[in-house]
Amino acid sequence: MRITSIYSLLISFLIVTNAFTIPQKVLSKRDIGKYTRDEDQNLNSNDFKVDYKQIPGLSKIRDKKSIPEMYAGHISLYNWDTEIEKVPEDYGYFFWRFHDKSLPWDDDDDDDNDDDDEPGTLIFWLNGGPGCSSMDGALVESGPLRIDSNGNAYLNKGSWSSRADMVFVDQPVGTGFSAMKSSDEYKDVPLDDNLNDVAVHFAQFLINFFQVFPQDIKKKIILAGESYAGQYIPFIATTLLDYQNHPELKDNMPAFELTALLIGNGWIDPVTQSLAYLPFAIDNHLVSTDTPGFNDLLNIHESCQKKVNDINTQEDEQFSIQECDNIINKLLAITKTKDENNNDQCLNVYNYELKDSIPECGMNWPADISYVAQFFSNKEVRDALHINEDWAAENWIECRADVMDHMDNKGATPSIHLLPNLLENGLNIVLFNGDKDLICNNKGITDMIQNMKWGGESGFSTSVQNYDWTFRSLDNNQKEEAAGQVMYDRNLTFINVYNASHMVPHDKPLISAGIVDIVLDNVLLESIGKRQILVSSEKPYNEDFFDDDDDDDDDDEKAPTNSDGDDDDERYYYYYYYDHEADYDDDDDDAMLRVDDYDSRKGLIFTIFFVVLFFGIIAIRTADRWWPKFASQFKGAYSRLDNPNKTVTWADEANPQTDFELNDMGDDMDFEIGDTDEDHEQESSRENESDSNSDVSELDIGETSVSPEPAGEQTVLRSP
Q: What is the largest CA-CA distance in the chain?
A: 102
Sign of torsion over alpha carbons 106, 112, 117, 119: positive
β-sheet bridge partners, residue 492? 429, 489
CA–CA separation, 363 vs 342, rounded Å? 20
CA–CA separation, 322 vs 111, rounded Å? 54
CB-based contact 716:349 (threshold 8 Å)? no
Name the helix (H) or strand (E) containing 153. strand 153-155
Catalytic residue among 100, 136, 437, 597: 437
- At residue 72, the 3 state secondary structure works out as strand
- At residue 148, the 3 state secondary structure works out as coil
CA–CA separation, 615 vs 603, rounded Å? 18
Total residues belonging to the chain: 720
Q: CA 383, 389, 394, 395: dihedral to nearest 10 degrees?
A: -30
Residue 642, burial from CB neighbour count under 10 angstroms (0-12, 13-18, 19+): exposed
Residue 39, burial from CB neighbour count under 10 angstroms (0-12, 13-18, 19+): exposed
- Plot region of 628 (φ>0 → left; ψ -120 to 50 → alpha; else → beta): alpha
CB-based contact 151:373 (threshold 8 Å)? no
Name the helix (H) or strand (E) containing 388. none
CA–CA separation, 526 vs 624, rounded Å? 52
Catalytic residue among 74, 99, 201, 502: 502
Backbone torsions φ then ψ of 448, nearest 5 degrees: -60, -45
Name the helix (H) or strand (E) containing 562. none
Catalytic residue among 5, 8, 227, 501: 227
State the SS3 of 588-646.
CHHHCCCCCCHHHHHHHHHHHHHHHHHHHHHHHHHHHHHHHHHHHHHCCCCCCCCCCCC
CA–CA separation, 159 vs 517, rounded Å? 12
Q: Has 437 been annotated as catalytic?
A: yes
Name the helix (H) or strand (E) containing 528. strand 524-528
Can you state the percent helix, strand and coil of the chain, rounding each to 5? 35, 15, 50
CA–CA separation, 467 vs 488, rounded Å? 9
CB-based contact 434:470 (threshold 8 Å)? no
Q: Has 227 been annotated as catalytic?
A: yes
- At residue 265, the 3 state secondary structure works out as coil
Q: Which of 175, 153, 70, 703 is nearest to 375 (CA)?
A: 153
CA–CA separation, 146 vs 141, rounded Å? 8
Q: Which of 5, 110, 92 is nearest to 404 (CA)?
A: 5
Name the helix (H) or strand (E) containing 292. none
Residue 106: count of CB within 10 angstroms of its CB: 16
CB-based contact 183:405 (threshold 8 Å)? no
CA–CA separation, 94 vs 209, rounded Å? 11
Burial 365-402 (b: 16+ CB within 10 A, else e): bbbbbbbbbbbbeeeebbebbbbbeebbbeebbbbbbe
Q: Which residues are annotated as catalytic?
A: 227, 437, 502
